[in-house]
Chains A and B, each alone.
Chain A
Amino acid sequence: MTDSPNTGALLRATDLVKTYVLGDNIVNALNGVSIAIEQGEMVAIRGPSGSGKSTLMNILGCLDRPTSGTYVLAGDDVSRMSDNALAEARNKKIGFVFQTFNLLPRMNALENVELPLLYGGALNAKKKSLEALERVGLGERCHHLPNQLSGGQRQRVAIARAIVTDPAIVLADEPTGALDTKTGEEILNLFKKLNDENSTIIIVTHDLKVAEHCQREIYIRDGKVVPSEVRNLSQVAEGV
């Protein structure tokens, strides 16, 4: 499926190209990717390793800039922003969830959740953080250090940290990759619950089972979006 250019999309990337120079080789990690995601969607970005999905995620997450193409997030063109402006965009518009949780080991759950608010200079950081921890079901464990929590609980803290700033998108990179199946299921259900509460969620994964929890999937291969019909045929051909 190609994304029709709907007006008013929350996130719109057009003709994204990302080129790396590795020694004498020029690598096209992204080769003209156009996607649009609406407010309130829960979308999976899936692809095999080396497909360019990580590069796409980095650009969508404002960690990187495309070589060419435009990327408009919540009304702002972030494809040509300065480092500082990108940091600001990450802080205000994006909530990251990582495969390995990436909590700061010497801060307790509450302090970890508060951190983006402190960087953003937000008011009532403590109250908002407690609310976010309540939403992920960890309200009573807010004074535990990460190493006193289970993997699933850590990921919940990380999700609370992602949603505490009320971002335009929550961007999760293999959020269940370091968890067992049951806990992974719980985390995906938490994402669904948050999506029902109107959060826009993008999950980057290579795992079809994870992608199946989402309403829609964007499949990337060789730096391009593969339309769903084509992909089905090729998967049939590959015997998947």
Chain B
Amino acid sequence: MLFWITLRSAIKSLWANKLRSFLAMLGIIIGVGAVIAMIAMGAGAQKQVVSQIEAMGTNLLIVQPQYKRDAGVTSGTMQKLTLDDAMAIAQLPGVKEVAPVVSSSTQVKYEGQNSPESIQGTSPDYLEIRNFEIDKGRMFTEEEADGLARVAVMGPLAVENLFNGQDPLGKEIKIKGINFTVVGVTKSKGGQGWFNPDDEIFVPYSTAMKILFGLDYVKEIDVLAKEGVNLTTLSGQPPGQGYGPPRDFNPDEQQPPPPPDSVTALLRKRHRIQTDQIDDFRIQNQDDIIATRTAFIWTFRVLLFSIASISLLVGGIGIMNIMLVTVTERTREIGTRKAIGAKNRDILTQFLIEAMAMSGLGGALGAAAGIGLAKIIPMIPMFSTFMTIVQPTVVIVSILFAAVVGIFFGLYPAYRASQLDPIDALRYE
């Protein structure tokens, strides 16, 4: 009963000094708003990463040629990966499937339609390795992949771009002026931010290498590991760097050799790389990608969280300041309350409730602002690839936390109020 009356008069006194209360709450509003918006963005980013990785395929190693480094400047790539490398990798005990990939973007035509598409020259296993599924028609066969067949499997967006709603199966498209028969369409995976797997056209690697692009090497070799195989062991390449001596090479400080049966050991042997030379290929390990992205998101979150905490701290100090002013202004009221029988702890409670009401209200307003911000951010063109997820628990915890900040920073002013001598307080002008 006393609590409710105190709370009501606290809210009334906040309302009586609207501007002052709002300014005092501003720090809390910004702090809580920031926390909610940031956590929403962090959760969204986390979800995007997870879905990207799922779309890319799991248990995946991507072998690519190493960048050339001349005096620290990256210029092109080093020795080329060949189809034979891919076949050798396929023989390793930990490997389930291997797909060589050559890719390039080029104009594709169907009748009057013209669209730039990403062409992936690969083998049929690519679909399983990269988690694609066939929606209509079929994937090209191993024989077609090896035998320079002019067949293509299209992503749904590429179909949309070229066919305007017509059935593409059996139609002829022109890639670099060469006719390809469309034999299948993949299921949509959805956009992934900076690249869209639905906007690709798959063709046999042999056709892509010899007829389309005139290459005798591949751009990457995708390796699907067997279930339960440790990707780092299979890769053999330490994350973030090539295998081999560091740039300031010290022969006394050699790395242990790569594990036998690893892709690194195999390719170093095939490419005849000496122990004092670094790898001419790099292997993206999907575990590394996940770890790097997650670490980035964590860094992002920690950064935002510290900004939010500082804001809450400043907000708390703002509330403390206003509460000290309030206590001084209401000295006579405190004297009166004590004269009619309020104990020190009653006064303490009263001012704590006021501080809590102020910070709790600030927290609620901040939550509203944060939710609004989380909804608006993805609508801004610059941040259109962002995704935000507002979790109700985060909102509730933020408001409660704001109230706790209020109690913490209200404690000293409330204590001062409770310790006032009633006689002095009654006499205060």
Contact = CB atoms under 8 A, between A and B. Distances in A.
Interface of A: 58, 61, 63-64, 83-84, 87-88, 90-92, 96, 98, 102, 104, 106-107, 111, 114-116, 118-120, 125, 161, 165
A119 B2 contact: yes
B333 A118 contact: no
Contact of A115 (B335, B340, B426): B340
Contact of A116 (B333, B340, B344, B422): B340
A59 to B, nearest CB: 10
Nearest to A165: B341
B423 interface: yes
A119 B1 contact: no
Most buried by B among A64, A96, A102: A102
Interface stretch (B9-17, B124-132, B220-228): B9-17
Interface in B321-346: 332-333, 335-344, 346
B332 A88 contact: no
Nearest to B346: A119
B343 A119 contact: yes
Contacts of B1: 118, 125
A98 B426 contact: yes
A106 B341 contact: no
Nearest to B336: A102
A95 to B, nearest CB: 8
A91 B340 contact: yes
A87 B423 contact: no
Contacts of B339: 61, 63, 90, 96, 98, 102
Contact of B341 (A58, A64, A91): A91
27 contacts: A63-B339, A63-B422, A63-B423, A63-B426, A64-B423, A84-B343, A84-B344, A87-B341, A87-B343, A88-B343, A90-B339, A96-B339, A98-B336, A98-B339, A102-B332, A102-B335, A104-B9, A106-B9, A106-B13, A106-B16, A107-B5, A111-B9, A114-B5, A115-B5, A119-B337, A119-B341, A161-B340
B230 to A, nearest CB: 68
Interface string B219-246: 0000000000000000000000000000
B262 to A, nearest CB: 76
Interface residues of B, number: 23
B340 A96 contact: yes
A111 B5 CA distance: 8
A165 B342 CA distance: 13
A10 B336 CA distance: 25
Contact of A83 (B5, B9, B335, B344): B344
Contacts of B343: 83-84, 87-88, 119
Contacts of A61: 339
A87 B336 contact: no
A31 B346 CA distance: 34
Interface of B: 1-2, 5, 9, 12-13, 16, 332-333, 335-344, 346, 422-423, 426
A104 B333 contact: yes
A33 B268 CA distance: 107
B21 to A, nearest CB: 14
Nearest to A162: B340
A118 B9 contact: no
A161 B342 CA distance: 14
Contacts of A98: 336, 339, 426
Contacts of A165: 341
Nearest to A102: B336
A115 B339 CA distance: 11
Contacts of A104: 9, 333, 336-337
Given A104-B336, A106-B12, A106-B16, A119 B426 contact: no
Contacts of A84: 343-344
Contacts of B337: 104, 115, 119
Contacts of B13: 106
B340 A107 contact: no
B9 A87 contact: no
Given A104-B333, A106-B12, A88 B423 contact: no
Nearest to B343: A87
B88 to A, nearest CB: 85
For the complex of A and B, the 10 pairs showing the least CB-CB separation, nearest first, are A91-B341, A102-B336, A116-B340, A118-B2, A87-B343, A119-B341, A106-B12, A96-B339, A90-B341, A63-B422
Given A83-B344, A96-B339, A116-B341, 20 more contacts: A58-B423, A61-B339, A63-B422, A63-B426, A64-B423, A87-B344, A88-B341, A91-B340, A92-B341, A98-B426, A102-B332, A102-B333, A102-B335, A102-B336, A102-B426, A104-B337, A107-B9, A111-B5, A111-B9, A119-B337
Identify which of A84, A115, A120, A165 gathers the most chain B CB atoms within 10 Å of its CB: A115
A92 B343 CA distance: 12
B421 to A, nearest CB: 9
A1 B342 CA distance: 37
Count chain A CB atoms within 10 A of each CB in B1, B13, B343 and give the residue with the most.
B343
B249 to A, nearest CB: 78
Contacts of A118: 1-2, 5
A78 to B, nearest CB: 13
Nearest to B13: A106
A23 B426 CA distance: 23
A107 B342 CA distance: 16
A96 B341 CA distance: 10
B175 to A, nearest CB: 79
Nearest to B339: A96
B423 A90 contact: no
A83 B335 CA distance: 14
Contacts of A90: 338-341
Q: Which of A87, A91, A111, A125 has the most CB of B within 10 A?
A: A87
A120 B341 CA distance: 7
Contacts of B346: 119
A64 to B, nearest CB: 6
